[in-house]
Amino acid sequence: MKLIIASNNAHKMREIQEILGAEFPDMVTLKQAGLTIDVVEDGDTFQANAIKKAEEVRLASGFPAALADDSGLIVDALGGAPGVYSARYAGEGHNDADNNAKLMRDMAGVPTEQRTCRFASAVALAREGKETICVMGYAEGILLTESHGTNGFGYDPYFFYPPFGKSFAELSAEEKNSVSHRKHALEALLTILRQEKE
């Protein structure tokens, strides 16, 4: 079955291919399919945004299946913020540095034991004639008070991952992909797809 990925991110594409390649050997990005579509992510949950993106891209592309994800950072001391607003936490038109600066201001003075947080990823698979599947994956961590590392993007330099004793931005792409929230979500999706065949 041909699958379109609602993204043009090469790293994301590689991660998806590694996990779902056996189920979907024929996989393309939006760009490879010659499609330019900007889905408005106005849902109030990661799941709502991922489902909307997957379903709209499937309809627009005419492909039998489309995969989309929505992810972000959940900080317990902020009641779950930035959450679905992770990419635009500092406001529209702001970048990663602005978002991180706002997060550090909002978390100023919060002690280490109260800086628990997690990256969350919702992955949705829309398929012709079938109900859309949506699964969640998480990576648990602690929010640092200053940035560490230069790899990754977004909140990675401030996200300390205890099992490795490093921030996500200090990990290699391979290390991060092996434990990432998206990997956990994709593996949950793979389990469901395999169960469908039984």
For residue 13, count other CB atoms closer than 10 A to its CB: 17
Number of residues that this document lists for the chain: 198
Nearest to 30 by CA among 1, 55, 50, 57: 57
Give mean pLDDT in consecutive 10-residue pieces for the chain, a chain of 198 residues.
89 87 93 89 95 96 96 97 95 92 97 97 97 97 97 94 97 90 96 92
Q: Where are the domains of the chain?
A: 3-197
- Crossing angle of the two packed helices 10-20 and 181-197, in degrees rounded to 10: 40
φ and ψ at 88, to 5 degrees? -130, 35
| Rounded CA separation 24/72 (Å) | 26
pLDDT at 158: 98
Residue 92's pLDDT is 86
pLDDT of residue 9: 81
Indicate the SS3 state at residue 64: coil
Instruction: Return the pLDDT at 93.
Output: 85
Q: Could you give the residue numbers annotated as active site?
A: 70
pLDDT of residue 13: 87
Nearest alpha carbon to residue 125 among 39, 72, 58, 30:
58
**Architecture of the 3-197 domain:** Alpha-Beta Complex (3.90)
Q: What pLDDT, on the 0 to 100 scale, is given for residue 40?
A: 86
3-state secondary structure of 33: coil
